[in-house]
Structure formats: C-alpha cells, structure tokens
C-alpha cells in the first residue's frame, strides 16, 4: 500500500479514517461501524442481526475493502457442504492416500470472513466453525491446521431460537442490531443511497487504508492496553453483577474477553488506557433482543455521568443526524398534525412515534439549539395527549 501524503500517519488515525469513509456511505450506522472496527482490532467476532435491507452485508463488504486483508464471504444454507467454504478435497493427494483440502482462496486462509445467514447452516458446518472461531484452526484428515483469522462477521435476519445454535451464537462476542432508519434520516438516506448505487454500478472498489502487516500488529497494540486500574475494574464489576442480576447470562469467559474490546476501543481513540466511555460495548452483549433496553438502562447512566465529567469527549455514534434535519422533521410532523384533515389512529400513532424518535435523538445532543427543539417536541406531545386535536398549535 503506497502512502498518501494526505493520509493520517498513525495506525489508529487511519482506522478512524476507515470509520469515517464507511460512515460517509451509510446513514445512522456510526455505532455499528465503530463496533465492527473494535472487533477487528481486538481479534474478536461480531454478528449483525436485523431485517433484510438494513445494510448489514454492505457495511461488512465496505470494511473489507478498506482493510488489506484476505477476505472470504459466503451465504450459508442448510444444504451448504464443507468443501464450499473449507475447500475441496485434493484428489491427487487422496489418490496417494493423503486426505487434504485445497484451501487457496477459501475460509481457512482468510483473515476477514463474512458468513451471511450464519445460523442457517447445518451441523457439519457449525461444528467446524466452532473450532475455527474459538481456536483459529480447522481440522482436516485428523490434522489441526492453524488459520490466520482475525475476525468473523456473521449476519442474520433474526436471533437464533434453536438451542442447538447457542454455542455458535456465543462465539460472537458482539451482537449488533441493524434496523431501518428513523424518519428524520429519510432525505439523507436517499442522497447517500444514490451515491452508493452509482459506485456499485461503476464497480468502484474502495482503496485500502490499512495494510495486512499493520492488521497483524493490532494484537500488540491491544495487549499494551490490557492493564486496568482499580477504579475501572471496580466499575466493571458493578456493571457485570447488575447485568447478571437482571437475568442476562454473562459467562466468566465473556467477562474476560470483553476486556479486549475495552482496550481495542481505547486504542481506536488513541488512548493509552481504557476508561468508562468504553463501557458502551456492554450495550451489545445481549442474548435476545428483549435484553437490549435492559442493558441500555444499566450502561447509559454510567456513560452519561462520564460525559458530564468530560464534556469535550466525543460520544460513540454521536456523529449522526444534524440539528437542522431534526428541526425540518419536527416542522413536517407539526404540519401533518395541524393540517386540519382527519387522521386515522394509525396515522396519528406514526407521527407520534416519529416525534419520539426525534426526542431520543435530541437527548444525546449538546447543541443548545437541541434544548429549544426539545421544548417544541414536548409541546406537540403534550397537546396530543391532552386533547387529541392540534388546531390550536
């Protein structure tokens, strides 16, 4: 990879640039992008869950293009055979009495792997994947072959409900929900979506920003940050036992592995040590989607306290929609509600839901204009609940 004078010099800055490039393509996905990079830096695995068409595959493919790593991608089904992903049997060697696979360009030689519909694969694939994810090796003909694997990314439309899939789901340390965007993202979604489609039509690949050698050095960078002070560990212990007290399973193995994610996030920020801001990762360790709000309720107060103490620190995922777009959306909702036409219950609920989304977005903003806009949202919500009519607004 040739150096570009305009590129940042340090590795963590170029990883930040990777995040910036992907964020420029996808709206409202900043926190997901951050988590994908944290997984790569820590050498851990992540799974994206959500309905079709929510950019799960596109996000991972864009990331793979920006990292100069050997990449393997496959769509799994219950009919997928091991030779489709681990490589076909070497017939010449088999005739000579040796059982080997031809692994060139296949999963055993990949560094970044994307397995779409990962939970739909059959038991033969799942058993082989368990060893790969956990031990970075595959077994062929009774021989364990080490693999250069950095991270496996899975994608699925839903959380696995079959207990036989619990083991494979557990190997994905990070669980990320990717959903359809809120209403106030709509205009920006269309704008960036058109640009993304044009690049795809022209088959324009992204230029790598990080070399394979640099990716291999990340484990050292994370290792240097695997020292945690007593205050951090005390806070972490409190959060772990709160999470467990809510009935959310969090094994000792995962508790230890999460320390790597904290260290990786610190490195991505350019910090020498982890701090309370890194606990945002804990919002993404759920076992089912019902646990998402529970984890947010435990972790968010700790994050809010940290950012009150350090207001200059940038929040993870905070570079989303601007205040202007939210103001336009509030005006649009107000016009619908005060337009004089009769609204059905479904139409009314849709507008109130959109107001709730705007309110949530505003609550995380430090811009003083956000407080004024919050008042306008509150007035609309109050009037709707009080009278059900909006002519006086």
Residues in contact with 365: Cβ distance below 8 Å, sequence separation at least 6, in sequence order: 318, 323
Average pLDDT, the chain: 86
What is the DSSP-derived secondary structure letter of residue 210?
Answer: B
> Residue 340 above 70 pLDDT?
no
Percent of the chain with pLDDT over 90: 51
Position with higher pLDDT, 340 vs 362: 362
Summarised one tens digit per residue, pLDDT across range 173-204 is 999 988 766 666 666 666 677 777 777 777 77
Is 387 buried (19+), middle (13-18) or exposed (0-12) by CB count in 10 A? exposed
In the chain, where the domains are located = 11-201, 227-309, 323-386
* 11-201 has CATH 3.90.25.10 classification: no
Direct distance between the N- and C-terminal alpha carbons of the chain, in angstroms, rounded to an integer? 59
Summarised one tens digit per residue, pLDDT across range 32-73 is 999 999 999 999 999 999 888 788 898 999 999 999 999 999
Tally of helices (H runs) and strands (E runs) in the chain: 16, 7
What is the DSSP-derived secondary structure letter of residue 139?
Answer: E
Q: Hey, is 314 helix, strand or coil?
A: coil
The pLDDT score that the predictor gives to residue 3 is 40
């Amino acid at each position: 990879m040739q150096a570009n004078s305009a590129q940042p010099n340090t590795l963590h800055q170029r990883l930040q640039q990777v995040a910036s490039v992907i964020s420029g393509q996808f709206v409202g996905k900043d926190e997901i992008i951050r988590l994908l990079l944290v997984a790569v830096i820590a050498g851990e695995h992540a799974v994206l869950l959500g309905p079709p068409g929510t950019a799960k595959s596109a996000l991972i493919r864009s990331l793979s293009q920006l990292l100069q790593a050997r990449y393997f991608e496959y769509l799994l089904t219950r009919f997928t055979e091991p030779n489709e992903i681990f490589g076909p049997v070497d017939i010449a060697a088999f005739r000579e009495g040796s059982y080997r696979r031809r692994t060139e360009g296949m999963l055993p030689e990949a560094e970044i792997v994307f397995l779409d519909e990962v939970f739909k694969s059959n038991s033969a694939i799942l058993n082989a994947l368990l060893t790969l994810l956990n031990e970075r090796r595959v077994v062929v003909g009774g021989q364990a072959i080490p693999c250069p694997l950095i991270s496996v990314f899975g994608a699925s439309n839903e959380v696995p409900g079959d207990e036989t899939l619990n083991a494979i789901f557990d190997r994905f340390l990070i669980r990320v929900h990717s959903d359809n965007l809120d209403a106030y993202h709509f205009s920006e979604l269309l704008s960036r979506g058109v640009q993304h489609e044009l690049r795809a039509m022209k088959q324009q690949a992204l230029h790598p920003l990080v070399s394979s050698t640099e990716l291999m050095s990340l484990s050292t960078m994370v290792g240097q940050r695997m020292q945690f002070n007593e205050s951090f560990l005390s806070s972490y212990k409190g959060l772990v036992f709160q999470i467990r007290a809510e009935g959310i399973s969090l094994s000792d193995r995962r508790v230890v592995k999460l320390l790597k994610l904290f260290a990786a996030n610190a490195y991505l920020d350019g910090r020498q040590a982890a701090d309370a801001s890194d606990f945002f990762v804990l919002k993404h360790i759920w076992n089912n989607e019902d646990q998402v709000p529970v984890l947010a309720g435990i972790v968010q107060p700790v994050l809010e306290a940290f950012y009150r103490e350090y207001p200059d620190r940038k929040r993870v995922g905070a570079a989303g929609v601007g205040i202007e777009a939210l103001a336009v959306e509030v005006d649009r909702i107000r016009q619908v509600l005060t337009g004089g036409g009769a609204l059905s219950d479904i139409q009314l609920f849709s507008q109130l839901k959109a107001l709730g989304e705007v309110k949530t977005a505003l609550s995380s903003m430090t811009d003083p204009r956000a407080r004024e806009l919050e008042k306008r949202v509150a007035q609309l919500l109050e009037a709707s609940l009080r009278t059900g009519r909006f002519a006086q607004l």
